[in-house]
Amino acid sequence: MKARPYRGLPVLLLVWSSIAARLAAQTADYLNPDLPLGRRVDDLVSRMTLEEKVSQMQDVAPAIERLGVPQYNWWNEALHGVARSGLATSFPQAIGLAATWDDSLMFRMASVISDEARAKHHEYVRAGSRQRYQGLTFWSPNINLFRDPRWGRGQETYGEDPFLTGRLAVQFIRGMQGDDPKYLKTVATVKHFAVHSGPEPERHTFDAVVSERDLRESYLPHFEAGIREGGAYSLMCAYNRVDGKAACGSDMLLKDILRGEWGFPGYVVSDCGAIDDIYARHKVVATAAQAAALAVKTGTDLECGHVYANLVDAVKQGLITEQEIDTAVKRLFLARFKLGMFDPPDRVRWAQIPAGVLDQASHRELARQVARESIVLLKNAGGLLPLRKDLGTLAVIGPNADQWRMLLGNYNGLPADPVTPLRGIREAVGKGTRVLYARGADLADGFPGTDVSPAPADTLQAEAVRVAAQADAVVLCLGLTAQLEGEEMRVAIEGFRGGDRTRIDLPASQERLLERIVAVGKPTVLVLLNGSALAVNWAEQHVPAIVEAWYGGQAAGSALADVLFGDYNPGGRLPVTFYKSVDDLPPFDDYRMAGRTYRFFKGTPLYSFGYGLSYTGFAYKNLRASAATLAAGDTLTVRVDVTNGGKRAGDEVVQLYVRHRGSSVARPREDLRGYKRLTLGPGETRTVAFPLAASALAYWSPDAHRWVVENEPVEIAVGASSADIRLRRTIRVAGRP
């Protein structure tokens, strides 16, 4: 979408005036912007027929012309930028966002995304268009737990830890929804509720069987944070069953927990086709009308799909009442009123955002900053990095070195000027440095990638070896692509299945290239571009420097060059465990947490959760707590002093974990309970403070069906990763029986 001078306010005023003019009763309560929103919604819904109400409960909601209600399409995406809607700033894929461990950066990014979302929406409305990907209700963020690296959609999440996921989700939601006391900027939707993380090919049929403790302690805390703290006004229920009940028809999930315990005031939308699954694949009920009635009665207000068209018949059959339908319709229209869709635009703060915000310079710079902060330095033997910019010849090799589509992951927008690793490096080096390029290999055997011509593997590799032999150093760009890992895909090649992975090492074509290039004997930096953990065991033993750059968005190449040449000191940390083999993992379809993630894995990982190196070093000292005993219902403060002991400024992510030393039940080996990313100059020391509430130390009792804080000693651990704990001390927790 091409930006043009803002002229929308008069036009929007005319649109609103024309809506009012079509009504016989100019004094209708729902058109009065001075009345409470609830009263206006009640008035509007009371004027609708049953058929009109049902029509509004599907993602494509038609206009009700006699009431002046415009059509609306509820489906929009903004996982890491406004998606599938033309020009938009493209930030790193969600897993890369999580690697920043930076709350304030997440909020700033989401605020930019919602600025662009508002601007695009009003441009579409001015043009008379109200299609999919043009509205203000966004089906983001995806906060499912990335419990297994084989899941293709794990790239869309914030990683494997409930605490980190919850904190980042809160910031994303707040940035998306804004801070106006009356009007939502956009609507953020936390998804997919609940216990949903593959396998993709079976997602419409599987039953996620979990213990009550795993449900409460691992699969729900981040959703609760997104709803209760972030204020997400929408939630998407999942395709699968949970303990035998369809997720979109589960009284436990939607009635008891979501609306009962958490007091959720917003609306629930089904994943696309999930209501079909209730009767067609899960066989919970026999007919479409029964599935629709079950979902609405349980609390699923909006369907992405076509089954809710059967609700009129469901009422006639006595499966559901019109009053129950009214409840869902009112929730949906309250959201639209909160977005300002029925008010004069001069009253809606967010309607004033001009189209000129799209792709503006500050947004491009923020995309580069987020990409920088997402990069994780995994290895740097002998201080190979940073590289000199005045090398005579630098070889950039690999199937991901010059692929701009790879940078965007999935659920992406289209940036104006994406920068690949090759381009970023060429723009960063000195004028006297030659940069040579070779693709070297296909992404996988039989899969060359996007927009590249097939070529024999021997030819590709020979060209790469020739280029490497001429160079003073090699940057080898390997990894994956969202064409191989993603959502329910038709991919059936070695190592991949239906969007998921069956192996977690590099594809064989790339592993062969890696070993051949290292054999040339030149200083080599391996750059990984991927959305899930890679078991690069051979590289860890034989390659001096390894960088994890994820799917870095539009500025990925520039940010990577900043790190490779030392203009930026990497400070990203892993939001997932990098295992050595699938042999380290339980079966993919086993949803028990035992043996999964850093919290319960008993083996030795390749790279641990929270891990990441820097071009400088940090020292920890003087760990202390504000009290020796923490009583139930209270909070104490943990403090630690952190010093940059090197000669270069850098970022450290200080991490607080707890370990239960006297619990009567099995507990996580380590459990993240705080983190802080901070920038320290050479020699600088800062004190980092973490609040620690007794409630954060509770476990869920399946016998009492409640959280229990025990009397026990608890070890507080502070360090640079879950496996690099620098200081520990023990406090006494005084719980309640």
**Rg for the chain (alpha carbons), in Å?**
26
Catalytic residue among 303, 485, 505, 710: 485
Dist CA 206 CA 475 (whole Å): 42
In degrees and rounded to multiples of 5, residue 388 shows phi and psi of: -80, 145
If DSSP codes are grouped into helix, strand and coil, which group holds residue 78?
coil
* Angle, CA 279 vertex, CA 276 and CA 283 arms, to 5°: 135
Q: How do 473-479 and 524-529 pair as beta strands?
A: parallel
* 427 catalytic per annotation: no
- What whole-number distance in Å separates Cα of residue 605 and Cα of residue 682? 31
Q: Label residue 404 left, alpha or beta by phi (over 0 means left) and psi (-120 to 50 means alpha).
A: alpha
Are 268 and 253 in contact, with CB atoms under 8 Å apart? no
Residue 485 bears catalytic tag: yes
Are the CB atoms for 303 and 270 separated by under 8 Å? yes
What is the torsion angle, in degrees rounded to the nearest 10, for the CA atoms of residue 295, residue 299, residue 300 and residue 306?
A: 40
Q: Residue 685, Cα to own-chain centre: how many angstroms? A: 32
Taking the C-alpha atoms of 495, 498, 500 and 502 in order, what is their torsion angle to the nearest 10 degrees? -30
Q: Which of 161, 224, 271, 652 is catalytic?
A: 271
- Return the beta strands (E) in 411-570 as ranges: 434-438, 473-479, 496-497, 500-501, 524-529, 545-548
How far apart CA 312 and CA 55 sit, in angstroms, is 10
In whole angstroms, how far apart are CA 695 and each of 169, 389, 708?
20, 51, 8
Which is nearest to 264 in space by CA: 294, 229, 240? 229
Residue 80 carries which side chain, given as an amino acid letter? H
Spatial separation of the C-alpha atoms in residues 11 and 718, rounded to whole Å: 57
| 501 token code pair | 């992975």
Centroid of chain to Cα 12: 33
- Catalytic residue ranges: 271, 485
